[in-house]
Structure 1
């Protein structure tokens, strides 16, 4: 389900429910609303403070975790988007000197994508701000509430994964 985050003039997904709706539906829409609100804020801040997008940030985050680089297919799988999306983002980041393509010696058709020194510095600044934004958004919850929410969402994750249609 793809939904955009609510704006001040539009109700969020959860507000569209009524008490007669099944509690699981109401829970799902509350969870989705929270995700949309957080994601919208992150997208906005990345755009205004770093003139970048969430997909570009996500790609750089994947590469930060793989200093040796990653193939396009690996990036595509990790980010759950098409190779075409990865190629477009990579092309932009390469033009800006943030990533580089390195040919794989054993496979002439493949390249590894990795952060440049400039890319690592840039990502480090973005990641620091990203962490601060997340901490500020979740900071109003008590430590106990954050722990409980983490545990309960972990349970939901474990219960949901086997139900995915043939997905690993």
Structure 2
């Protein structure tokens, strides 16, 4: 397994790959990134879910490999975050044209973000609505390690049968 150097100096600089032994645990191993997530609960994921493959200079998730073909490296995450900020500019700072609550005093209990990417939409929504439980799911473990207590992340495939027993008030995708 290899890790990509994410400290690019310029757009023409080629990422340098560093070989890391599979059983080495120095804190920089890609397979260990995010092995625990701090939210209202702590989850521990197996290394096979967190493992990434390197192809043509980009990293890609291995869980359900091939279902989503875009990379999950820093360049792609920056692009996804930029896209989110452009949407917010388009919607005058709102998290979407119809994102609840539409009514000023309306309460939204549970929100689900499908295919959340970096999770920036879910994090922003959770920050703006601290009384709402926000769950964000994706195939790729690219999310930050710490979020607000009302924001939780799961690695899951939205095309598999759902295991959620409580309904959601709003689903964003």
Q: Could you say which TM-score interval applies, normalised by the shorter chain?
A: under 0.3
TM-score for both structures, normalised by structure 2: 0.25
**Which is greater in Rg?**
1
Q: Which has the higher helix share?
A: 1
TM-score for both structures, normalised by structure 1: 0.26
Which structure is higher in RCO with an 8 Å CA cutoff and minimum separation 6?
Answer: 2
